[in-house]
Amino acid sequence: MHNETLKSMLVELVPLAVFEEGSEWPTIMIEPASWKSLALLLTTTPALQFDFLFCLTCVDWKTHLGMVFHITSTLHRHTVVVKAKLNRDHPEIDTVSDIWKTAEFHEREVYDLFGVKFLKHPDLRRLFLTDDYVGWPLRKDFEDAVNMIKL
Amino acid sequence: MFEEVGTTEQGDLIINVGPQHPSTHGVLHLIITLNGETIKNVEPHLGYIHRSIEKMCESLTYRQFIYVTSRMDYLSSHINNHGCALCVEKGLVVEIPPRAKVIRVLMDELTRLASHQLWWGAMAMDVGALTPFFHAFREREAINDIMEETCGARLTMNYMVPGGVMFDLHPNFQSKVKDFIALFKSKIDEYDELVTSNIIFKNRMKNIGYLSNENAVSFGCTGPTARGSGVSCDIRKLYPYEIYAQLDFREITETGGDCFSRYLVRLQEMRQSLYIIEQLIDNIPEGDFQAKTKAVIKLPKGEFYSRVETARGEFGVYIVSEGGMTPYRIKFRSPGFSNLSALNHMAKGHKIGDLVAIMGSLDLVIPDIDR
């Protein structure tokens, strides 16, 4: 589906949606609290059917953390990007691992490296680092005391 | 996490496979809950080879960071480099010369062949057939020699750079690839004879590790893993890059959803890759192998996403740029990571011996998962 048509459909579905320009796909900015309900809408609306979450990540913007979700539809072949701003001190957002099963691993990765808490996640533990590790390595203010070679 | 060895309250046995186990093909650690011989739960523990490549890339320039990506999926290093080069080119809006495009596609397909060959040998070895491993390495050696001559390396090629490829092809390239095509065409039928129609192999693979179409999509599986469940997800067909749109090849899908279907997909993909190479090897256009780019690359402020089809599935590169010489944030969407997340679902209810076959059919490369 063409980006413009998809955009107008999304506006119809979520009248309060704020769009961001600059990406090759329609990008919606949302409040973290409304993420779960939007995710359900995106998957269940027959004309959209966003069933394939292919990228889930986070960006540390120093003032806040920005969650980025890239979702596509294997039926209609259109893609949407959803972004949510999280509080840097208490980053919290609902899990979508019950909607897209792949999110369970991806959310654990983001928790491990950024410290984002995914509410109601079935098994929120560190994924790559050891359980007793302190700190969130992919945040911009992270200082690695062990690694003396600064790239 | 090592205390978890023992028995649960229900009398189930908990065992550890790995991190140093030959059938995990790397440092993957699985904690398996067993009821008798039947798997109740498989929990992968990752991170033994986690180098935080994404963090490293934040302090490397756009020319430098591509070299690090060869160390992720080392069997598809060309294709990893390709994905990163494409993403940088997307930001620069640079058109690369036709010769470079063809060289890139040729190298990608040779890489895919080499990767599938290694997988084929390792897969057969996992289920108890040792000979195919040596057969596969014999033919893979020919590809490695071709790569070594042109790129100067056998594993971490670093041949693709933003704007094209690093050097021109070696004068021997065409003749050597033609020799290889002739050799491999006879060998691939031998592969079929030796393994595909083997009844012991079939019994180990059929109806093992079933993954339905819906679950393959939901678990984010891509590549042969998803195509074995009938999901059409070949990036080369869906979102063609370089010259794939003009090439004649089929996207292979099987509907079985079991280990044997995934095996068939990869085996047929080898034939398709060979067919693509045949189409291109006599038609490499003359001209530059690299577009002119500035010595110091600065991407405009914004975000860029590119995806390519590696031997394991969809590899995505997401660059967030603030306009500087280095990426502000970079994320690699690696195919193995998502494919592995389906392992628990696929292995439940099967015998412990089948777990090795299921893992083999996923074609896991651990540095690609841990990054």
Q: What is the DSSP code string of B127-161?
A: TT--HHHHHHHHHHHHHHHHHHHHHS-SS----EE
pLDDT at residue A26, as a whole number: 85
**Three-point CA angle A115, A116, A121, nearest 5°:** 115
Nearest-by-Cβ selection for B50 from A70, A101, A128: A128
pLDDT at residue A35, as a whole number: 87
Q: What is the ipTM of this complex?
A: 0.87
The whole-number mean pLDDT for each consecutive block of 10 residues of chain B, a chain of 371 residues, reads: 65 82 79 88 88 86 88 88 90 88 91 91 87 88 90 86 88 90 88 86 88 90 90 88 88 89 91 90 87 84 90 91 88 90 89 88 88 83
pLDDT tier at A39 (50, 70, 90 boundaries)?
confident
CB contact at 8 A, B91 and B304: yes
Nearest-by-Cβ selection for B337 from A105, A129, A137: A105
Is the CB of residue B251 less than 8 Å away from at least one CB of chain A?
Answer: no
> For the CA atoms of B37, B42, B48, B53, what is the dihedral angle to 10 degrees?
150
Q: List the 198-217 stretch of B: residues with Cβ below 8 A of A.
A: 215, 217
Is the CB of residue A129 less than 8 Å away from at least one CB of chain B?
Answer: yes
Bond before A122 cis per omega within 30 degrees: no
pLDDT at residue A2, as a whole number: 73
- Can you list the positions of beta strands (E) in B177-261? none
Token representation of residue B233: 């997800």
pLDDT at residue B315, as a whole number: 92
User: Would you give the end-to-end CA distance of chain B in angstroms?
Assistant: 21
Which residues touch B206 (CB under 8 Å, ≥6 apart)? B256, B258, B259, B260
Which residues touch B81 (CB under 8 Å, ≥6 apart)? B66, B69, B70, B157, B158, B159, B160
pTM: 0.87
Predicted confidence (pLDDT) at residue A151 exceeds the cutoff of 60: no
Return the axis-axis angle of helices B352-362 and B98-126, rounded to nearest 10°. Answer: 170
Please report the sign of the dihedral spanned by the C-alpha atoms of residue A103, residue A20, residue A80, residue A11. Answer: positive
Tell me if A70 and B345 make a contact (CB, 8 A cut-off).
no
The Cα B369–Cα B313 span in angstroms is: 12
Distance of CA B54 to the CA centre of its chain: 19
User: Would you give the end-to-end CA distance of chain A in angstroms?
Assistant: 43
pLDDT at residue B2, as a whole number: 46
pLDDT tier at A148 (50, 70, 90 boundaries)?
low
Is the CB of residue B219 less than 8 Å away from at least one CB of chain A?
Answer: yes
Element (DSSP H or E) covering residue B40? strand B38-45
Token representation of residue B144: 């490695």
The Cα B313–Cα B339 span in angstroms is: 9
The Cα B351–Cα B23 span in angstroms is: 15
Name the residue among A15, A47, A44 with its Cα closest to residue A30: A15
Is the CB of residue A22 less than 8 Å away from at least one CB of chain B?
Answer: yes
The Cα B344–Cα B342 span in angstroms is: 6
